[in-house]
Structure 1
Amino acid sequence: MDLMQNFHLLRPGWLLALPLLWGTSFWLARRNSGDGDWKQLVDSDLLPGLLLASDSKRNWTPWPWLALAWTIAVLALSGPSWQKETSVAFRGTEEWALILDLSPSMAASDVKPNRFTRARYALDDILNSAKDARVSLIAFSDEPYTVTPMTDDVATIRALLPPLSPNIMPSAGDNVAPALEQAEKLIRQGGANKGQIIVLTDGFSDPAAAFVAAKKLKSQGMTVNVVAIGTPAGAPLSKQDGSFVQNAQGTLKMASLDVELLQQLASAGGGRYVELSQLPDLLTNLQARSEQTGKVNAEKNIQVQHWLDGGVWLLPFLLLASAFLARRGWL
């Protein structure tokens, strides 16, 4: 009774192939019948007397065996299942939301070759350290743009890094607060209530809104870390055509790094402020937190149940039917 109650097919869609395969077997049997096409030309009463005596081997045909083999194969592919297996499951619950500044100032070349390229290199290092963490990527200028939602496929994110530059942004700006709000949405959409937010930036133009957003994230169990891209001395701000931006007085406009502003953002978000040279220390700390989370989840001994695919038990019967198809003299 338990077998009948629990029996079901994991992939029942495969059964739709059975009528087609049976029809093909019937068509092949008719097409290769011993009478050939003479029955269309000779009277049915005269035809047996005109046909040569057939070999006794041809009294057996392979088509029923072919239909049987196809039927067994389709039933195996449909995934018959009647029992469950319990196993211990673990998935890292760490969520990392990476925020990349692509404002015009990121084109400055005070760090070689330029700031946004160095930020992409830093993102690559972060992805190498993600391990069991799930990662998302946001790019921002005046508005945030989700490059990838939360995923454990860091290879896909890494493949999207090379095209990222200020030139691809539809409009100029430097507002980090909306990007922080977007990071919160992605973390929650990933099914987590806590997460690490890593902002790679050289500054922003909305400090009041940014500090409020960072404090809100901190109160909800999320941490805002800041990676500074650039140097305090800065470099001339360049345009897309390669020329430098000038102010009203005709002097070059500098893209400098406001260290104090970035430190305040990290402090408001309960995270760390680091420069590019200190990024390995930040990653070591984040990895330690991720491992600690993994230990806590392992202690909970999370168990999941899944249905076993019983199609494998049909394979011996499929091999047996296929063996009959290899009989000499079928055709």
Structure 2
Amino acid sequence: MSLAPMLQDFHFLRPAWLLALPLLWGLSLWLARRRGRDGDWSRLIDPELLAGLQLEGAATRGGLSPWPLLALLWTLAVLALAGPAWEQESSPAFRGSAAWIVILDLSPSMTVADLSPDRVTRARYAVDDVLAAAHDARVGLVVFSEEAYTVTPLTSDVATVRSLLSPLEPAIMPTRGDQLAPALDRAAELLAGAAASEQRVIVISDGYADPAAAFASASRLRAKGVKLSVLGVGTPGGAPLPGGSGGFVRDAQGNTALARFDPEALQGLATAAGGRYRPLSGLADLTAELADQQSPVRGGAATDMTLSKWRDAGIWLLPVLLVLAALFGRRGWL
């Protein structure tokens, strides 16, 4: 490496250590002046006798002062701690090739019990199975009713995402509704900065009330290369919608309101995004597909990554420091 580029790139990785240099140089100077040639013996011995003793000691001492060496030793130690650097080195790096956003429906209809014990519990079980398939993938979680909310952004800490599943119930949502489009848009935002070769949104729902907006959001995901998987939760016959007082919700005619399951709408959503719809019974096929997408054969290109970092050259000062420290330990210098 030529000298000019080296000088241009030269810097300290931890420059704050350089603030110690003036203090250490001042301490060395103070020690040198305080412990001069007479070693402060002039306070205890008469000047005439001290002069004779100094002449006698000068014949046996080597005559080298330790204080310049001490200042040099401290200077080199501070420079090593500051981390001089002028070259970069590359190291291999790995990042999971997949990024998934799971969208969980927390609309009021998810409380019905046409599936045992109810739809939302079975949906949480499905999310847990999806998380179990995320070996190297980063996963985020979004919930929706009338509005969408981010539970966790993209993370490789699947255990943390799993720990947040239990409290997710329709009752915790501040408003009641069934708007899927905001959740799809939120998923697109979370995936926008993800450097992953495979991006996927997984919707777990029993239906939605905004088909036009949801189809438009799904089409935008498709245009960005994001895959969409839809998992339906419910039975065709539906079940009565639980009310807040322990009974069931009734319509304007006084009849018990049924929460229907709409697989056709979910299938249409998957088609709009170029994805695939599965009923809850197809969960095993979905998790197998997700696991396959993370295999080395499919995701190998994403592992060919390198990270560049500055090489800390302070380590090369350590041998010099050891030699100087050994010299400083010479008998009679302190």
May I ask how many residue pairs the two structures share in their alignment?
Answer: 319
Output one character per residue of 1:119-178: Cα deviation in whole Å (capped at 9) or x when no partner: 223222222222232322211111112223333333443343333222222211111112
> What is the root-mean-square deviation in Å for CA atoms of aligned residues?
4.2
Residue 322 of structure 1, CA deviation: 7.2
| Residues 1:221 and 2:225 aligned together | yes
TM-score (norm 1): 0.75
Output one character per residue of 1:187-215: Cα deviation in whole Å (capped at 9) or x when no partner: 22224686211001111111222223223
2:247 & 2:22 partners in 1: Cα distance?
68
| Residues 1:47 and 2:43 aligned together | yes
Q: How does 1:47-196 map to 2 (within 5 A)?
A: 47-49=43-45, 74-191=78-195, 195-196=199-200
Residue 95 of structure 1, CA deviation: 2.3
**Partner of residue 313 from structure 1, selected from 306, 313, 316:** 316
**Which residue matches 2:277?**
273
- Tell which structure's C-alpha radius of gyration is larger: 2
**Which ranges of structure 1 fall in alignment gaps of 5 or more residues?**
35-43
Closer, same or farther: CA 223–27 of 1 in aligned 2, 3 Å: same
Worse-matched range after superposition: 235-244 or 203-212 = 235-244
1:196 & 1:23 partners in 2: Cα distance?
60
**Partner of residue 206 from structure 2, selected from 181, 185, 202:** 202
Closer, same or farther: CA 128–65 of 1 in aligned 2, 3 Å: farther
1:158 & 1:63 partners in 2: Cα distance?
62
2:328 & 2:103 partners in 1: Cα distance?
61
Residue 327 of structure 1, CA deviation: 9.4
Closer, same or farther: CA 25–126 of 1 in aligned 2, 3 Å: farther
Secondary structure in structure 1 of the residue aligned to 2:190:
helix
**Which residue matches 1:40?**
none
Worse-matched range after superposition: 97-106 or 245-254 = 245-254
| Residues 1:22 and 2:24 aligned together | yes
8 Å CA contact 1:21–1:70 kept in 2: the answer is no
8 Å CA contact 1:95–1:196 kept in 2: the answer is yes
**Aligned residue type for 1:2:** S
**Partner of residue 282 from structure 1, selected from 280, 283, 286:** 286
2:333 & 2:280 partners in 1: Cα distance?
74
Residue 62 of structure 1, CA deviation: 10
Residue 15 of structure 1, CA deviation: 2.2
**Which residue matches 1:295?**
300
Closer, same or farther: CA 27–172 of 1 in aligned 2, 3 Å: farther
8 Å CA contact 1:80–1:311 kept in 2: the answer is yes
1:12 & 1:330 partners in 2: Cα distance?
33
Worse-matched range after superposition: 4-13 or 116-125 = 4-13
1:66 & 1:240 partners in 2: Cα distance?
80
8 Å CA contact 2:196–2:302 kept in 1: the answer is no
**Aligned residue type for 1:149:** P
1:138 & 1:61 partners in 2: Cα distance?
71
2:113 & 2:328 partners in 1: Cα distance?
72
Give the fraction of aligned pairs with identical amino acids, expressed as a percent. Answer: 47
